[in-house]
Structure 1
Amino acid sequence: MSSAPSPLLTATGPSTGSADIRLIVTDMDGTLLDDAKRVPPGLWRTLAELRWRGVVFSPASGRQYATLAKEFAEVAEGMVFIAENGTYVVRDGVELSSDPLEPGVAAGVVRAVRQLVADGVDVGAVVCGKRSAYVERGDEAFLAEVRRYYAEHRVVEDATALDDDVIKVALFDFGAAERTTAPALEPFTATLPHSRLRSSGGIPKVVVSGEHWVDVMNGTADKGAALRRLQHELGVTPAQTMVFGDYLNDLEMLDAADWSFAMANAHPDVIARARHLAPSNNDNGVLRTIARVLGLEA
């Protein structure tokens, strides 16, 4: 846990302009995107300037790789996509790393969600494979939420029997996920009697990734682990890495960078963990901070 965030690099702080940044990693929802899910003005110009300077830009999100690749299709060359909360990392169409769930674990989570639904919880599971996402629930209200984050998705009769590498199971709870769905899954993940999983470090964990979203994935998987592998791959140090986040699934990622920023709108635990504070997602905080630290045109 770092000390309280420094206000040095908020909108009112002095610029630095001389930082040796080689890698910039940002969460999407609540961080780079505003509350209406829009990319900030000036993003494409900033990405072009970063490319010219040799700085690698990496969206890191709970979103599906196909969704991220579609969002950045015009500028995707050379970018690294840390998708599915770090469980699947791709650059120029080539997988750099992945951390799939054991098939039995994914099926068990789906059955647990079915029981939650039977108990009256308004929740649905998204089984996230490398090729597609899969859902059993086909009502329009649920599918509308799925479409926001999963460009490739299919409605299937049985999500426990899939021909795909499952990298996580995401749950959308129409209520408060942190209070309802997440606690209901904790006993399930803590008591799975898989000795092989325990010896390999693959015990599942539950991560609250948004107000309505919960992810179940390997205990070895998170955005921070993916970022550290990427830093090793690129030969980039934490001192040369800038990271932006707003929610609990960003915590480990913040630990992997000296230049770690919580958005002003972030969860209190994220603000406490980051070294610095950036303006909010609705105030174009990511791009304003990048411009200030790297000395770009605002």
Structure 2
Amino acid sequence: MSDIPYVIAIDMDGTLLNEHRAIPESFWPVLKDLHSHGVVVAPASGRQLFTLLEQFAPAGQPMSVIAENGTVVFHGDEVISTTTVEAERAHAVIDVIDQHPDQDWGLVLCRSDGAFVSRTDPAFLAQCQPYYARMDIIEDLHEHVNDQVVKLAVFTFGSAEDEAAPALREAAEHLDVVVSGANWVDIMSSKASKGTALRNLANALEVPMERTIAFGDYLNDLQLLEAAGVSYAMDNAHPRIKAIADFIAPSNEDEGVVQVLRGIVEKLKQV
């Protein structure tokens, strides 16, 4: 068994990030304190690995990342697990999006080496850019389907939970359709989730699940919070997330994650 005291997985949007989609400055000294006690802290997000590595560059050391809603797990300086979508199923999802131009859906083909979009209107691209640091605009998404596809992310200008997700569940046979935000739906392998990714990371580090802690706010965090030894839903979280969490943390606007982490640091100092 590892001597790592905790593995802490933290969702980003609506959890750690503030309303400006920024990591609060108060987080960095707390992260440094946690690292000094041997704690592994991993962002757990639907965001791309390359985006998360950029956001956490101020930490200045090798890190752990759960990216693309759990389909990519990174530790130290390498990807330790990926869960991919079969090419045939990826092509089928692209066809479904193409067949429904009336829905105003935008599709991001997410591969472990980068993201691809064919839709070029500024309104759609503005929604993609915060999440995909490595993204190319191409003509035909079908031509970029290979064995590295980890997720197909759909942006809707309507409601992801009430409109897009139900329609996509009917079309995306044998895949998981996960509501990852108010306007985002992620389509990925049924074998993948943030919860499975946390288990994979903990296993790689030889840390028992009872020594894992997770923070989340939205429906794509459900399995993450269920898997963790201790779970925190943000005060601003979706009601279903609050219902299954062990504890409620202050909202992301009140830097709730930082407040809880400070308490963990104080406990570690007393050991």
TM-score band by shorter chain is: over 0.9
Whether 1:220 and 2:220 are equivalent positions in the alignment is no
- The correspondence for 2:234, drawn from 254, 258, 263, is 263
Residue correspondences, number: 264
Counterpart of 1:271 in 2: which secondary structure? Answer: helix
- What amino acid sits opposite 2:28 in the alignment? W
Give CA-to-partner distance per residue, 1:144-170, whole Å, 9 cap, x none: 111010001011111012165110000
8 Å contact from structure 1 (residues 79, 91) kept in 2: yes
Q: Quick one: structure 1 residues 163 and 173, their matched pair in 2 at CA, closer, same or farther if it must change by over 3 Å?
A: closer
- What amino acid sits opposite 1:154 in the alignment? D
What is the match of residue 162 of structure 2? 179
State the distance in 2 between where 1:257 and 1:272 align.
15
Whether 1:168 and 2:159 are equivalent positions in the alignment is no
What is the match of residue 139 of structure 1? 121
Range with greater deviation from structure 2 (88-97 or 257-266):
88-97
What is the match of residue 263 of structure 2? 292
Counterpart of 2:237 in 1: which secondary structure? Answer: coil
What is the match of residue 69 of structure 1? 53
8 Å contact from structure 1 (residues 56, 78) kept in 2: no
TM-score of the aligned structures, taking structure 2 as reference length: 0.94
Give CA-to-partner distance per residue, 1:26-54, whole Å, 9 cap, x none: 00000000121121131111111111100
8 Å contact from structure 1 (residues 258, 275) kept in 2: no
What is the match of residue 49 of structure 1? 33
Q: Larger relative contact order (C-alpha < 8 A, sep ≥ 6)?
A: 1
Q: Please list every run of 5 or more consecutive structure 2 residues that lacks an aligned counterpart in the other structure.
A: none
State the distance in 2 between where 1:294 and 1:240 align.
15
- The correspondence for 1:106, drawn from 73, 78, 90, is 90
8 Å contact from structure 2 (residues 5, 38) kept in 1: no
- The correspondence for 1:149, drawn from 131, 138, 153, is 131
Range with greater deviation from structure 2 (70-79 or 27-36):
70-79
What is the match of residue 15 of structure 1? none
- The correspondence for 2:249, drawn from 278, 282, 291, is 278
8 Å contact from structure 1 (residues 64, 84) kept in 2: yes
Whether 1:252 and 2:234 are equivalent positions in the alignment is no
What is the match of residue 70 of structure 2? 86
Report the RMSD for the aligned CA atoms in angstroms: 1.5
Q: Runs ≥4 in structure 1, deviation > 3 angstroms?
A: none
1:225-240 paired onto structure 2 within 5 Å: 225-240=196-211
State the distance in 2 between where 1:76 and 1:112 align.
42
Counterpart of 1:221 in 2: which secondary structure? Answer: coil
8 Å contact from structure 1 (residues 21, 242) kept in 2: no
What is the match of residue 16 of structure 1? none
- What amino acid sits opposite 1:225 in the alignment? T
Counterpart of 1:89 in 2: which secondary structure? Answer: strand
State the distance in 2 between where 1:288 and 1:144 align.
31
State the distance in 1 between where 2:76 and 2:237 align.
31
State the distance in 1 between where 2:246 and 2:265 align.
17
Q: Quick one: structure 1 residues 157 and 227, their matched pair in 2 at CA, closer, same or farther if it must change by over 3 Å?
A: same
TM-score of the aligned structures, taking structure 1 as reference length: 0.85
Q: Quick one: structure 1 residues 122 and 230, their matched pair in 2 at CA, closer, same or farther if it must change by over 3 Å?
A: same
Counterpart of 1:180 in 2: which secondary structure? Answer: helix
- What amino acid sits opposite 1:263 in the alignment? M
Give CA-to-partner distance per residue, 1:230-271, whole Å, 9 cap, x none: 111111122211110000100111112221000000000000
8 Å contact from structure 1 (residues 43, 287) kept in 2: yes
Whether 1:159 and 2:130 are equivalent positions in the alignment is no
